Structure 1
Amino acid sequence: MHTISKSGLRCALLATVSVATLFASSAAQAQSAAPLASAQAGAQAAASTGDGAAKDAGQKVSDDTMREIIVTAQFRSQKLQDTPLAITAVDSALLEARNQTDISQIAAQAPNVQMTQMGGAFGASMAVYIRGIGQYDFNPAYEPGVGMYVDDVYYASLTGSIMDLLDLERVEVLRGPQGTLTGRNSIGGAIKMFSMPPEAEDSGSFEAAYGARNRIDLRGSMNFALTDNLFARVAGVYKRQDGYVDQIDYGCANPDNALGITAKPSTPSNCVMDKLGEKGYAGVRGALRFNPNDKLDWTVIGDYSYEKHTNAANVLTIDDTSKTDGINFICGKRCTYADFYVPAGGDASQSYSMPNETMFTGWGVSSNLKYDFTDTLKLQSITAYRAWHTTFGTDDDFTPDPNIVGGGYNDIKFHFFSQELRLSGSVGTVADWTVGGYYSDQKTVYFTRQDIRYIDYAYCGGLGVCNLQFTGNDPVNADTKALFGTVMLHPTSDLNVTAGIRYTKEHKDYTFVRKAFDGGTLNDAFGVGLLDGSTANYDGSRVDWRISADYHFTPDFMGYATVSTGFKGGGVVARPFTRLQAVNGAFDPETLTAYEMGFKTDFFHHMLRVNVAAFYNDYKNIQLPISDCSVLDEVEPGTDTNTCAAVTNAGDGHMYGAELEVSANPVDGLDFDASLSYINGAWDNIADVVGGSIKVGDPITTPNWRWSMGVQYRADLGNSGSLTPRLDLNGLSKQSQGRLTLTSPLDYIPAYMLANARLTWKNANEDLAISFEVQNLFDKYYLLPLRFTAVYGAAGTGYSTVGRPREWAVSINKKF
């Protein structure tokens, strides 16, 4: 038998990593892709079973080579490499190394994951997609497609999902439907964040950063041992940064314009009224943990967050001058003429301004109680209440043209209660099982003031331009009940078979309130006034299931195969224009059956990790926007009954793809991680009511490719500490923005790559660190997907969100 020295192993590993790097780079040049690999993990760990979220979850259990992360995706603590799911797990050390401080940045290391901070007409919300499945519309009539969880508590809305990664222990990104594990609305996958638990020691940390555009970040946490069995932890964050898109006063910058728009009195001499894309965030979290013995572990968490900043960094990217008085209102790459100003007209007796900023306040409290009856029978109870309030204004046409008025003011209040019970146990070494139940009750009150004066259709009765001006104050109720169970069988020491089932029953009702601006009866040419007092209802149920088998061919090589289902909840039409569109507008859940195979493996004594997954999704009853509402208004198909902004089950399709994650520690101090993902698919059928905005033959999801790579090297300086440079690259191939009209070709955002660099010095005790970082190192100009073109047909305009330019920052971190 030949033997290989450790140095020989490291040489072989370096060659392997070089090949992997070349492969990722070549694939990126061929197309591109985004976000980064999983966290470093490796070494050996003893994973406890059956505790629903065990005490050692997330802890790294060895300092040898790569760190192992313990995850709880299957209701029990397991090593990441032993879990037969496609999971990207990121621990606090990697979050710190990359200086990732909000949830949208997590996409930078998870294959086939896209998180886009919304803006403009969508407020403080996040569009989250995994493997091409998600949701972008914040309206409470619709449901998310990716489940978001903090400390096992479900966040039921897209609004408020732009969360700071405050004092986190780890993040688990589960790809593929999680219908039996996390339930409804995890059809694409789930993102689970776990905060640092209070521990039996006194400790703390504080970090301060200053950077480009007056960036100020303050973060800190403290842990206290109040008694021998009562521990507390508190953490806080404050972020502030100027915006990077100039909001320019059109009259000031163009004093002799044809529309006669004059400068506003308060505009400064440089004509810049404000800057869009600001940061303004503050949050605090406190936790108490009672752990009197080995049986009881009870943690209560409370949190509060506050946001106030200008709207997202949107710029006008489309302007059909035939509809905008012959004037091109496109200002430039990082400026806009949008003024959020509404002149008098229609029911608006006086002119007024919409706010160009977003405000959000949210708070919540949760209880996580674990009790071990015996070593093999454990109970977990998760109780939570959350509430938030947000306001934001919109300028739908995104121009200062007083003849094209479209905008709204939105004020939304949200309340959510949830209760989950899990009972877990084991039958010797033969099986582990979990059964449980879940209940949630949700209420939203959505106040809006809509002022739309650009519509010019035949059904205006020959009046030319129709004014659609109304206020709404809509209560929306939703509740969910579920029962679930999972069993893991162990026929041999190397083979595991998992089966799960979940039954879900859901209800939603949406009452439409439509009044005139003065609070009186709304008389309009559209029929919107007849909506007042109408209620739309949806009721449905669903059974999801999962079967999985995994086999350990060696202690360091595990293969698995899974078939699973998931669904995104049904709902009602959020923006009806007639009473019949509302009462007939209920739609069913969209459903997914996923087939997945993969393997997880470690090489060279845990110096190299390679995880691969391949999947096929059968996607049914897809909820799509339609252009023909005759099916809801109960008239002949194709009849022009009114404006249509409905959603219904209108398509089927399929998707397939593959994902590669690599992490390596080839020599002491050198860490490498990378990911590469591919996804493709096709629409199998599209209902005629969609009207051509989506066609068979269009890509069902883009971008096809995402890739990432990160490398860092810790240079030991002896008594002077250490110096660690780090470079992260990520990119993606072109991605579709849809089409402007039914006859237009698809538009695409070109492929791009982003680079981030960071240099960190730590002292010898590693309790003091000073870092210098540059984000978007090469100052790449790029647009985020999901542009707003809802008013293009009437106003001829559309706007997009600009990615952040190059930014620098210096930070100091002290641990004690």
Structure 2
Amino acid sequence: MSAIPTAASRRSLAVAVSTIALLAGTPVLAQDDAKTAAADNSDSNEIIVTAQFREQRLQDTPLAITAVNAETMEAKSQTNLAQVADSAPNVSLKPQGASFGPSIAVSIRGIGGADFNPAFEPGVGIYIDDVYYPQLTGAVFDLLDLDRVEILRGPQGTLSGRNSEGGSIKMFTRKPEGSNTGSLEATYGSRNRIGFRGSFDFKLTDDISGRISGVYKHQEGYVDRYDFGCLYPAGGGATFTANDGTTKEINPAGGIAATRPQGACLIDKLGEVGYQAVRGALRYNPSSDVDINLTGEYIHDAHTAAGEVLAATSLIDGVNTNQGTNAAQYAGGAPGVPYDNRFICGKFCTFSSYSSPAAVFQQFPFVPDNLPVGGQPLLATNNSDQSVYKAYNLAANIHLGLSDTFSLDNIVAYQNWKAQFGVDDDLSPIPLSGGYNSLTHWNWSEELRLSAKIGDTITAVIGGYYFKQQTNYYSYQDLRYVPVYPLQFIQPDQTPAEAKAVFANLSWEIAPNLTFDGGIRYTKESKEYHYFRLNPDGTINPYLDPVGYYYGAGYNGPDTLDVSPAGLGAFGPLGDGHTDDIVTALTGLVAKYKGSRWDWRGAINYKVTPDVMVYASVATGFKGGGANPRPFYASQAISFDPENLTNYELGFKSDLFDRRLRLNADVFYGQLKNLQIGVSVCPDGTTPCAALVNGGDAKEKGVEVEFSAQPVDGLSFDGSLSYLDFYYTKLNPNAGASLDDPLAGSPTWKWTLGGQYVADLGSTGTLTPRVDASYQSKVYTGSKFGGSPQYIAGYTVVNARLTWMNEGGDLSVSLEGTNLTNKYYYVSLFDLRDAGAGLDKAQPGRPREWAVSVKKKF
């Protein structure tokens, strides 16, 4: 994707706008009486959304929304939120690699978030039953007993609130109805995939009903984790072709020792599935004026780490990363084994060890200088390849009809979760980068809405919102690849945050078929980041901090920081003699962010006919500020401000040809200010630096199209198409990027296409084959190697499902296949070769899989 708008891209956008204008006029092809009959037949399939705080038909809502009901999700074999997002234009939601634990990277129209650290905000709001989920950790939700999913594209600053700069993803569960009905489903498939899900709706009294639902999923991983020394015994004679083209012994004598017996070299399988959840709901609904819903859920997601493979390695400045006079001390007994492409195992395997031996650090891993003095000892670390997420959530949704004019809604929620995961970033037995992470989180929120209907033309909503959270992030970091000095420390950081908001929204039918929707929201928020950097044994001792490792036995305390010992090379002195230059001096510091903001929205829509609506809107949104969670010096413990977006949009929604064709489309143009961008040189000039700052502005434009068609009874098609053009207009020179760099994390083009045919077998039931295909163009990873941007190649994935259902509709058997062409592609790619780590690691997509499901309703 070209970051600078070209003449061709401008012509493409102009053609798209013209096409929208042309299509908006086509419904005259259908006769009014035919429309009425078709409308009667289609009402049962109409999706009702609540994006504007009231129930509306999807086609009557002047927003770019993808809405998917439970039946469609089942037909497409969609069982988690990431799969639903794949079918929406300009939406990306991917599970993260192992280094980020059980979290996701999410973006809408190129705007979102990917870092699980609680110092950052996600940029896309995720909700269940209008309850906000503030963190990316644990957000790959199973679609447990859902009624529908609404994906709102574009800033939702007035409707959803904070951190919905790119848009919002809203899931709505099924409410109890007292029907005394339920369903059970069992699944078996590839790699011992076993799944069960079920629900039961029951009546307690005339006014009280309940519903309970649960899911269990387990599947073996698809990336094999091997013991390198077992698979290639030291001195065994096996060879490989090195990066320089020469043939070398893969594990020379005295090299990397085996930790497992011969014949049992497979340690584990990464990319496992292990998900369990249960949800209970109670509903008190004595009349249409009183509707009280209480829900509670428990989630236990325990599995091996995400399946990652080593894609490439590099040598920095021609120096082997684990070789030389002191290599045995550094590598823990593996002299002469550099970190290079011998550790590239294959498409679906890795040599991750999740351990680092004890050693004395006396050589830089990536620079040619040796220390003149003995180093401090590095402790042995042993981590697990398991990732565990446990959560329980409570919520109350209360609706009270106060009169014919007024109603009150109150949404109260409490969430509590804990996540734990080990890390082996280098994907090899060489101890370059590893660690362990544990996060605990709780939050409490409440939202009040007072709705009023004024006459026949005005609907208004005013409300208030309060949110409070606390996240404790315990981490053990063992980073031996860091230039200048290795880092080995504990960080039990704390991140409290609070937000308050008031808002108002108005819908006014100015004239027949002409409606104005507008809103404002004022948000005030604050966040603190409490830093702790402890020695590996848990003590606070400035004489044993990571800089102490660098200065080794010759380091006598902070007063010697001005000294530049011989052999330091180009790095020069590290400090000015003050304790605020060392990592452990961060302990006790607090970085604080406070801010407030007004958001607004205005939209006008016109019903050209009962089946065609055109609309235009302007809206704002923001991603909240925060603090730098990864400082190397006390001066880097800084905060950053919100990133914000103003979006202009034109669109139409239409049901054409007797409602045989539904076609919705929009074009948009956005202006982003105060982009939150990572820099390699901090504002005070210090390096190394891994801070996020407000470092630029950008613009974006794009086109989105969605359609569904039923050309003949039983045959249906659906699909989407999106185009996104993003370009920087201002950029911090320390961002490591240039104005012509593409957008990271989102494709320029994306499309989906699906089709199915329901064959009527009479008394035998129905047989429904369905095929779905999805495509995304190449994606910039945000990393460069040798100055060149690194991309994930574009790919197409094809899935299929064949379902038989009996005549009564209460028994079905389905056979599904995913990635039918067995396409090898990357979900994520993390290139750290230019960052000093010498590696490029990737998360491959799941290979071809099959499954059989049996579902019984009762």
Compute the TM-score of the two structures, normalised by the length of structure 2: 0.84
Residue in 2 aligned with 1:673? Answer: 718
Shift of 1:642: 3.4
Write the mapping of 1:743-762 to structure 2, written as runs, cut at 5 A: 743-762=786-805
Residue in 2 aligned with 1:462? Answer: none
1:359 aligns to 2:414 (yes or no): no
Separation in 1, partners of 2:141, 2:220? 19
Residue in 2 aligned with 1:371? Answer: 400
Q: 1:173 is matched with which residue: 147, 151, 159? A: 151
Conserved 8 A contact 1:356-1:392? yes
Residue in 2 aligned with 1:484? Answer: 503
Conserved 8 A contact 1:112-1:131? yes
1:737 aligns to 2:751 (yes or no): no
Shift of the 677–372 alpha-carbon distance from structure 1 to 2, 3 Å rule, reads same
Conserved 8 A contact 1:252-1:262? no
Shift of 1:114: 0.4
Conserved 8 A contact 1:340-1:394? yes
Q: 2:414 is matched with which residue: 385, 396, 405? A: 385
Shift of 1:348: 6.4
Residue in 2 aligned with 1:9? Answer: none
**Which amino acid is 1:618 matched to?**
Q
Shift of the 313–348 alpha-carbon distance from structure 1 to 2, 3 Å rule, reads farther
State, as a whole percentage, how many aligned pairs show the same letter. 47
Q: 2:295 is matched with which residue: 286, 291, 301? A: 301
1:623 aligns to 2:676 (yes or no): yes
> Deviations along 1:468-524, whole A, 9 cap, x unmatched?
111011111000000000001111120000110000000001111111111112423
Residue in 1 aligned with 2:453? Answer: 426
> Deviations along 1:151-170, whole A, 9 cap, x unmatched?
11000000010110000000
Conserved 8 A contact 1:112-1:677? yes
Q: 2:489 is matched with which residue: 448, 457, 470? A: 470
SS in 2 for 1:252: helix
Residue in 2 aligned with 1:562? Answer: 617
Shift of the 294–61 alpha-carbon distance from structure 1 to 2, 3 Å rule, reads farther
Shift of 1:398: 1.9
Residue in 2 aligned with 1:805? Answer: 847
SS in 2 for 1:665: strand
Conserved 8 A contact 1:378-1:424? yes
Conserved 8 A contact 2:271-2:305? yes
Separation in 1, partners of 2:817, 2:835? 41
Shift of 1:63: 4.7
SS in 2 for 1:542: strand
Conserved 8 A contact 1:267-1:273? no
Separation in 2, partners of 1:477, 1:245? 37
Shift of 1:285: 0.4
Shift of 1:699: 1.6
Conserved 8 A contact 1:792-1:798? no
Conserved 8 A contact 2:193-2:220? yes
Conserved 8 A contact 1:61-1:68? no
> Deviations along 1:544-585, whole A, 9 cap, x unmatched?
000000000100010000000000000010111111111xx1
Separation in 2, partners of 1:63, 1:271? 61
Write the mapping of 1:106-505 to structure 2, written as runs, cut at 5 A: 106-256=84-234, 257-258=251-252, 260-266=254-260, 269-321=263-315, 322=318, 323-324=320-321, 325=338, 327-328=340-341, 329-345=343-359, 351-402=380-431, 405-457=432-484, 466-505=485-524
**Which amino acid is 1:372 matched to?**
G
Separation in 2, partners of 1:373, 1:409? 53
Separation in 2, partners of 1:261, 1:284? 49
1:548 aligns to 2:620 (yes or no): no
> Deviations along 1:589-634, whole A, 9 cap, x unmatched?
00000000000001122111000110001011110100001x2xx4
Separation in 2, partners of 1:456, 1:77? 57
Larger Rg: 2
Residue in 2 aligned with 1:649? Answer: 694
Residue in 2 aligned with 1:661? Answer: 706
Q: 1:695 is matched with which residue: 738, 744, 760? A: 738
Separation in 1, partners of 2:659, 2:132? 35
Shift of 1:666: 1.5
Conserved 8 A contact 1:398-1:798? no
1:718 aligns to 2:762 (yes or no): yes
Shift of the 407–428 alpha-carbon distance from structure 1 to 2, 3 Å rule, reads same
Conserved 8 A contact 2:832-2:838? no
Residue in 1 aligned with 2:749? Answer: 705
Separation in 1, partners of 2:272, 2:377? 30
Separation in 1, partners of 2:491, 2:795? 41
Conserved 8 A contact 1:65-1:606? no
**Which amino acid is 2:628 matched to?**
V
SS in 2 for 1:746: strand
Shift of 1:698: 1.2
> Deviations along 1:11-64, whole A, 9 cap, x unmatched?
xxxxxxxxxxxx9xxx9xxxxxxxxxxxxxxx99xxxxxxxxxxxxxxx99654
Shift of 1:271: 1.7
Residue in 2 aligned with 1:586? Answer: 639
**Which amino acid is 1:664 matched to?**
A
Separation in 2, partners of 1:327, 1:770? 49
SS in 2 for 1:530: helix
> Deviations along 1:433-465, whole A, 9 cap, x unmatched?
0000000000000101111122233xxxxxxxx
Higher mean Cα deviation, 364-373 or 746-755? 746-755
Separation in 2, partners of 1:396, 1:98? 35
Cα RMSD between the aligned structures?
1.9
Which runs of no fewer than 5 residues in structure 2 stay unpaired?
A: 1-11, 17-31, 235-250, 322-337, 361-375, 548-580
Separation in 2, partners of 1:496, 1:581? 50
Shift of the 332–539 alpha-carbon distance from structure 1 to 2, 3 Å rule, reads same
Shift of the 443–677 alpha-carbon distance from structure 1 to 2, 3 Å rule, reads same
Conserved 8 A contact 2:103-2:136? yes
Conserved 8 A contact 1:655-1:700? no
> Deviations along 1:393-452, whole A, 9 cap, x unmatched?
1112222114xx211100100000000000001111121000000000000001011111
SS in 2 for 1:580: helix
1:686 aligns to 2:731 (yes or no): yes
**Which amino acid is 2:398 matched to?**
L
Residue in 2 aligned with 1:14? Answer: none
Higher mean Cα deviation, 714-723 or 524-533? 524-533
Conserved 8 A contact 2:307-2:843? yes
Separation in 1, partners of 2:359, 2:584? 19
Residue in 2 aligned with 1:777? Answer: 820
Conserved 8 A contact 1:653-1:700? no
**Which amino acid is 1:541 matched to?**
S
Shift of the 79–345 alpha-carbon distance from structure 1 to 2, 3 Å rule, reads same
Higher mean Cα deviation, 83-92 or 468-477? 468-477
Residue in 2 aligned with 1:795? Answer: 837
SS in 1 for 2:206: coil
Separation in 1, partners of 2:474, 2:226? 29
Shift of 1:310: 0.6
